């Protein structure tokens, strides 16, 4: 999920709180851009079901100055899901 929000202290925490309010588990955050008081952040969120996607979008929009730009589903490899992924670098 890519979110545009005001770049101010606590804004990221408010968005994270809204994600948690729908039972979302944040597994990664990437701050993509910070320009002129606006940040664009990308979250990887695990949800219990697809039916929660629109609720998640509405919850994030409740944060003052936050707007969901995009939400897309990711297909995780079976090794990732089972915890058997090999992270060794060669």
User: Residue 35: is it exposed, middle or buried by C-beta count within 10 angstroms (0-12/13-18/19+)?
Assistant: exposed
The CATH architecture one would assign to domain 2-74 is 2-Layer Sandwich (3.30)
Tens-digit pLDDT profile for the chain (90 aa)?
Answer: 999 999 999 999 999 999 999 999 999 999 999 999 999 999 999 998 889 999 999 999 999 999 999 998 877 655 455 555 444 444
Provide the residue ranges of all domains of the chain, joining segments of one domain with +.
2-74
The residue with tokens 């701050």 is 31
Per-residue model confidence (pLDDT) at position 55:
95
Please tell me the distance from the alpha carbon of residue 88 to that of residue 90, in angstroms, as a whole number. 7
């Amino acid at each position: 999920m890519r979110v545009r929000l005001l770049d101010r202290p606590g804004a990221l925490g408010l968005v994270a709180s809204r994600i948690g309010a729908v039972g979302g588990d944040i597994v990664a955050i990437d701050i993509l851009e910070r320009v002129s008081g606006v940040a664009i952040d990308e979250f990887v969120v695990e949800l219990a079901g697809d039916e929660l996607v629109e609720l998640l979008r509405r919850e994030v929009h409740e944060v003052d100055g936050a707007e969901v730009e995009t939400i897309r589903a990711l297909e995780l490899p079976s090794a990732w899901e089972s915890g058997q992924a090999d992270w060794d670098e060669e």
